[in-house]
Amino acid sequence: MTSDLQSTSDLADWDRVADQYSNQNQANAPIDNPMYTHVQTVFWETIGNVQGQRLLDLGCGDGWFSGMAHAFGAQIIGVDGSARLLEIARRTYPAIEFIQWDLAQGLPAQLAAVDLIVSTMLLMDIPDLTRLFADLRRVLSPSGRFIFTILHPCFYAYKPHYDPTTGEWYRKVTNYQDEQTWRVESFGGHNHYHRNLTYYTELLRANGFAITRLYEPEWDPGPDP
């Protein structure tokens, strides 16, 4: 399957699970969700004051981050490929502009320059990032920033194993260097595109970005599976 056809299939998945995804967000606001708790402080510290800034929410989903940034004074546009998620976003945040667009195709041509592009947990859900990253550099102002979070490719989705000699659980990391497509069941099922960290850093470098910070949060020990 070509990346374009794969992306079309992926967007159909997100339309299908949109209500379940959004309901979970509304019940457990993402900024308070355990997955986000470990990154939210440094994320917002890195973003800083958005008052009056032109901001692009990349993969905005149901608009939860756009809503927060708008409340803090940003001039924000949200872009996402899921028609159903954007229907929810427009209903919840009528004052914000949302654009439907398949991000595997890059960015809409009509987007003007922005000061800040923010993406939360999106990039590992897109089958091909080549066109998107080229367009991100195009729409950023000369001093603009691109700030994003992803699931850590070294630790996400590997199943826990029990070691009877130590009585401890661990995750065995295999084929980390290989690009892979996994089917994950969160939010009702969707594809996850595994790429190592080098993939992201090289894609940034190739498109003229300078990496000024890389942050890997420490996770609190969890209960045994």
User: Which residues, in sequence order, are CB contacts of 105 under 8 Å at separation 6+?
Assistant: 4, 7, 131
**pLDDT of amino acid 26:** 59
Interval 3-14 mean pLDDT: 70
Write the pLDDT tens digit of every residue in 31-72.
555 556 666 777 888 999 999 999 999 999 999 899 999 999
Q: Is 58 exposed, middle or buried (0-12, 13-18, 19+ CB in 10 A)?
A: buried
Q: Which residue has the higher pLDDT, 73 or 24?
A: 73
The pLDDT, as a whole number, for residue 114 is 97
User: pLDDT band at 85, cuts 50/70/90?
Assistant: very high
Element (H, E) at 18: helix 3-27
Domains of the chain: 3-152 (3.40.50.150)
User: Would you give the end-to-end CA distance of the chain in angstroms?
Assistant: 35
Lowest mean pLDDT among 78-82, 130-134, 191-195: 191-195
Q: What is the pTM of this model?
A: 0.85
Structure confidence at residue 36 (pLDDT): 61
Structural contact between residues 127 and 97, judged by C-beta atoms closer than 8 angstroms: no
Amino acid at residue number 99:
I
